[in-house]
Structure 1
Amino acid sequence: ESCQSTHEEFTAANEELLAVNEELQSANEELETSKEELQSVNEELVTVNNQLNDKVEELNKTNDDLANFLNSSEVGTLFLDKGFCVRRFTPSATRLLNLIPSDVGRPVSHISNKFIDVDPIAIAATVLRNLTSFEKEVETSDGLWYMLRCMPYRTLGDVIDGVVFTFTEVTRLKRSEEAMMEARNYAESIIHTIRESLLVLDPQLKVLSANRAFYETFQVAPEETENRLVYELGERQWDIPRLRELLEEVLRSDRHFENFEVEHNFPAIGRKIMSLNARRIDDQQRASVRLILLAIDDVTEQRRAEEERKKLEEQLRQAQKMESIGTLAAGVAHDFNNILNIIQGYASLLKEPGTRHEEVAETAGVIVESTKRGAEVVHQLLTLARRAEPRLEATDVNLLLHNLMHLLKQTFPKSIEVTLASNHELPPVAVDLNQITQALLNVCVNARDAMPDGGRLILKTQVVAGKSLQEDGEANAERYVCIAITDTGTGIDEKVRHRIFEPFFTTKGSGQGTGLGLSVTYGILKNHDGLIRVESRPMHGTTFRVYLPVGSSEG
């Protein structure tokens, strides 16, 4: 029984051992499973740790980039928290706000700055209260200008956590703007000061602006002018076909026009004569037309004055012409007296009884020749006195002087010898025959008066090159026909010689001349683009040289 009992105990113990072994096996399996789970968790932790390290490295790079950007930026930047204490600032801000690294965390109100009349606290409070940006140009105590901007500081979670100030220097821009404004004011002052009317047109020929002279001259208001096509101004009063053509030429090519005269009738101000000048201003960068300046000069009164002057000059020439004829009257009367005496003497012979037929024929021939001489003198005087419109025609100067010499011989005292030395290869010149004859006669009459006891009057012609006269600064033609008039009279002293062409200047006694002869001669030659020069010495005679331009078409 004890053996049986022991066997049962062993059997029971064995079963317990088997049960424990099964439990151990089960626990071992659970441990293996936990080990695998720990290994998996460990792998996940290693992956997360690697990702975290990557993020940290990326964040460090971002911080480095941000730090380098802020440190290298010329824009001063200041970060404040909601209590307006310094959170961060860039090196560019240190000069403006007198910041040092230990100022981080200090209230910005404790830090001085270089700006004039700038309160950062007030600006930051306004920005935080309204959640809007603030922008203003501010000046520093050393004269620099900055664009101050302030805006809310927003986190990635869109939480307002302070403000950001930026300071961008705009001194050069400010100076440029001031210079441009000053230049604009200067230009506008000039434009509004000048008497000429001025229009500024855009490339579409719309009026951008006009000066005061334009509004006053044409009696229009700015609202009737600006932003309107130039052709539409004043109910299309400026729609002038030739003006349109010229402005379009200016637009198409880099051209300008000057002194283009337009005569137009304006209902408000009447008929006006205008001298127009236009010039294009280009945009060099864009290679396009920027503006067109159109200057309008009202020359109405000037042209009327010129017409009146021409009329007065013509009247003056006619009056002086009559004076010249008057100075010839004594010589004409003497010559006519001789002619009449001849006619009277031979007529008396015809009345005597017993006169033969051949004697009658000879006497009649002398009478006819004498009347021809008288008629020729009268014809020359009438031709000189005739009032006619100026007319340029090709003229043989030698023939002109030959006829003048004949007139002088008929009318000047016999004590004065008149001679002509002609250059027979003279080209023709385009002149008004009547006016040039008058001009030369004026010089010859002065020469006659300078020889009261007689003398010689020499007329001479030649061709001279324009280059030889360049020292005068008025010779523009390549060649000139020169007419030299030389007398052996009393001459002219230096003081008088400089005044002889002045109107009404004379050295003659009262009632012996008006002093208009040589001034009229000067005016006639000026109108012919000619020249007159004089050489003289007291008691050594005088030489006047008249230069008439040879036309370019002469061949």
Structure 2
Amino acid sequence: MLENAPKIPLMNEEQRFRLLIDAVVDYAIYMTDPSGIITSWNSGARRFKGYEEAEILGQHFSRFYTDQDRAAGLPQRALDTAVHEGRFEGEGWRVRKDGTLFWSHVVIDPIIDSQSGTLLGFAKITRDLTDRKMAEETLKQSEQQFRLLVQSVTDYAIYMLDPQGQVTNWNLGAQRIKGYLPAEAIGQHFSMFYTPEDRDTGEPQRALSIAASEGRFEKKGWRMRKDGTRFMAHVVIDAIRSDTGMLLGFAKITRDITDVTQAQQALEQAREALFQSQKLQAIGQLTGGIAHDFNNLLTVILGNLEIVRKRMPNEPKLTQLLDNATQGALRGVSLTQRMLAFARRQKLTYESVELSALVKGISGLLQSSLGPSIHVQTRFAEALSPVLADVNQLELAILNLATNARDAMPHGGQLMITADERQGSDAAPDKPMAPGRYICLAITDEGEGMDEATLASAVDPFFTTKGVGKGTGLGLSMVHGLAEQLGGRLMLSSQKGVGTTAQLWLPVADNPAPGKASIQETTPPVDELKVLVVDDDSLVLTSTRLLIEDLGHRVLSAPSGAQALELYEINPDIDLVITDMAMPQMDGAQLAKLLRDRQPTLPIILATGYAERLEGFATQLPRLIKPFKQIDLVQIIGQTMK
């Protein structure tokens, strides 16, 4: 034993215990007598209750309770509970010396004499839990606010599932979108919102499996409401896990995007329709231009063939060759007419047409063209209004549609031709029609039908599904162009293996136009004329000049509008001007206007390869349609010079 070691005063067990209790500063530890009078006070009690030992000894412990708790008798009930149950434990608000409140956890144990069993008093331990209580209150308030927020959302269905997929809560948005009340949905499996097809393929279980394994599942799909209707939904499922990683359930958010989806589909359909319209317009411009140039070539060929035939000796073999060449050129004329029909630039003669009478009139030709294996049936509405159309072109259009139907039924079948009156608003949303009355002439077959890709290209010029040499690909394009030029539309619907329906919508003739006047085969002879011929194509210019000179007239020719004006200034005695319509720098209408300014009564004929849109006085000028023959020149010159 070291002599210099500090001497520790000897303490009995009670002293050591008192030092231990007084050293504790995080707990208020004190004793009361059986009536609740405080008999001891430690440092912890002094720290967070605020009383010094001298201030509090001899005071009743109830002073630490709030007025409400004292009025309710809570202090005495705590002591009684400790006596009867051997212990009291609870939490509540307590009051410091300065009047502030703190949240405390309280334990009261009775002190019993072990020999006599007499109650000696109470041992009381109090812990300040204000920080924890405030954190709990903040969390509780946050949870309440979040719950109110979720419940107030009506545009989203927000609810939770247990790990098996049972619904555990339900917000107002879920009630509005899906139609179920909370009592009807909570406890049910969420697969009740899926379509029968999705349930059969296990889609609900797959969604939970992906969310559980990847943490999140997101998809769009059809869902069911309580009333059985369907809506397009955007669904997100998030897995909810504890801190230890255990799956607690799923948070599910569903949004009704039916309106958005429909609007997007309508926009896509409108874009597709615009693209198709622009595509056909571009092809139409190209086709019209080609047809115009082709007509110029055919004008030259036919004109020169006529002159050669008139001037050559009567040799049968040569005559046969010329006839073959002429027939070939005329086939080219038919081809250009179809091209112009698609481009909506053919020359039409508008008149009032009774569809039932027209179809009846061509029934013999129709049946002979289709063959005995095709059975034609017609069904027309009573008192059907007439349409405004070109009879010849409309007959050709019906024959084209019927022929296509026949080719789609190689083993025969039934061809149904119907007609009824409709309004423009009756048309399909993706193919809108201008307001007004229309007659819908429909030709339906039982043929092979078309898939979507074929149907989308059906009216494109030169597109055909027939073998090489068996079709030009201009039949449907011609019908399409005719319908558009008449102010109507060709609508096709088809299903592979079922058949095709071609609907030709034509405007009703509210003010029936008179029938076209018949052209006399013979025209009164015209005295010798001085004719000015204008065309920027030198071949056409030469051919036209030769044809007119062959009729006995004197001809001046000019390759442009400017040179034509110069010739007229030098030759004011010109009797007639025949000018091409489509010329660079100055077209035929502009030239005609300048010539009429000089001589208001000057006869002028516009020669054109297709139907341009004219304005002003030019609409009244006679037109010579290319390609033309000498007889066409004779007739139009005779009519113009009457």
Give me the TM-score of the superposition, normalised by structure 1: 0.50
Q: Which structure shows the higher helix fraction?
A: 1
Question: What is the TM-score when the length of structure 2 is the normalising length?
Answer: 0.44
